[in-house]
Amino acid sequence: MPTFDFLQLDVFAARLLEGNPLAVVIGADALDGPAMQRIARWTNLSETTFLLRPTRPDADYRVRIFTPRQELPFAGHPSVGSAYAAIEAGRVPLKGELVQECAAGLLPVTVQGEGATRAIHVQAPPARIETVDEALAAALGRALKLDLRPGAVHAIDNGPRWIVCDLAAAPAVRTLAPDLSAIAALCEAHAAVGVSVFGTEAGGDAAMAVRAFCPADGIPEDPVTGSANAAIGALLRHTGNLAHYGSRYIANQGREVGRDGRVEVNVDQGSGTVTIGGHCAIGVRGTLRLDDIAGA
């Protein structure tokens, strides 16, 4: 019976039950894509990752990332959590800089601290930002049940494709009760993984409130979303609004679903490079047993 080391951890939180859960299957080179997809459907988390031997000499490890419905070339919380898991499992050398290989390419990873205080920061792929047409913006307004400001909506691709909406202030983000069926239809029609909204926090340790809805992938609301936060950081630079938050800021996400995640976002004003990061907390260490790899 094939067995694999298995971790489940919370990402973007220093304490368990406050972040976004991630399942990590370690040393999964014997599994093919369909088997990985079936395991991701079984864990039923927003993402499940599979740690593999790298195929590039300049990479420290390779990761494949699956939602319950599809494989993603990049996602933020799976990248942060997989790097943390690779260190915990002894799959990578203990050093301050790592390189992750994934379908989006080679991504630099920075490791700060040790053990429970360890923080992981991952460079997101370059973002392609599009201004959406009036029909999409109007459809999103109906789905969010809001009158949106002109220019508030953009489509951003940084591995996954997001529809991102600036709601200006945190109260509009916090009180949102969207039509999830309409959001699912909108995402399917525009090949987007989800809709993300953000607004300025008036006080506290976080500068921004963020929410992300991915009902087309079976995830009504994602607790804490790295790629969406990276997309927002890229958008702020693109629109000239980065000064309002600063090139380094903390986004809070997950409160509306009983979490309290913190995402550290760093935007290089010159190059446009965006890194996202935070802490992790391991909740489960175990073994995944499969009777039949091909039929997994």
Residue 295 lies in a domain: no
Whether 201 and 109 share a structural domain: no
Is residue 256 helix, strand or coil?
A: helix
| Segment 218-233, tens digit of pLDDT | 999 999 999 999 999 9
Within-domain flag for 113: yes
Do 133 and 118 reside in the same domain of the chain? no
103 in the same domain as 155: no
Quick one: 154 and 133 in the same domain?
A: yes
Does some domain include residue 238? Answer: yes
Q: Are residues 159 and 228 in the same domain?
A: yes
Q: Is pLDDT of 265 > 90?
A: yes
Q: Which of 272, 264, 21 is nearest to 129 (CA)?
A: 272
Asked whether residue 140 falls in the same domain as residue 266, the answer is yes
Whether 47 is catalytic is: yes
Q: In this structure, what CATH number is given to the domain that contains residue 284?
A: 3.10.310.10
Residue 256: pLDDT above 90? yes
pLDDT digits (tens, 9 = 90+) for 108-121: 999 999 988 999 99
Residue 160 Cα distances to 3, 118, 190, 226, angstroms: 30, 27, 12, 11
Q: Is 169 within a domain?
A: yes
**Do both 134 and 262 map to the same domain?**
yes
Q: How far is CA 174 from CA 19, 132, 211, in A?
A: 17, 24, 8
Residue 296: band (very low, low, confident or very high) from pLDDT cuts 50, 70, 90: very low
**Does one domain contain both 111 and 211?**
no
Q: What percent of the chain has pLDDT over 70?
A: 98
Based on the fold, state whether residues 48 and 184 are members of the same structural domain.
no
Query: Do both 134 and 118 map to the same domain?
Result: no
150 & 256 share domain? yes
Residue 294 located in a structural domain: no
* The pLDDT of residue 292: 64
Catalytic residue among 47, 101, 201, 264: 47
State mean pLDDT over 5-16: 97
- The verdict on residue 296 lying in a domain is no
* Model pTM score: 0.95
Cβ burial, residue 89 (10 Å; 0-12/13-18/19+): middle
53-79 mean pLDDT: 97
Residue 82 pLDDT > 70, yes or no? yes
Q: Residue 57: CB partners within 8 Å, gap ≥ 6? A: none
For residue 106, the enclosing domain spans: 3-123+280-289
| 207 within a domain of the structure (yes/no) | yes
* Domain count along the chain: 2
Mean pLDDT of 164-180: 98
Whether 72 and 148 share a structural domain = no
Q: What angle do CA 294, 215, 161 make, to 5 degrees?
A: 80
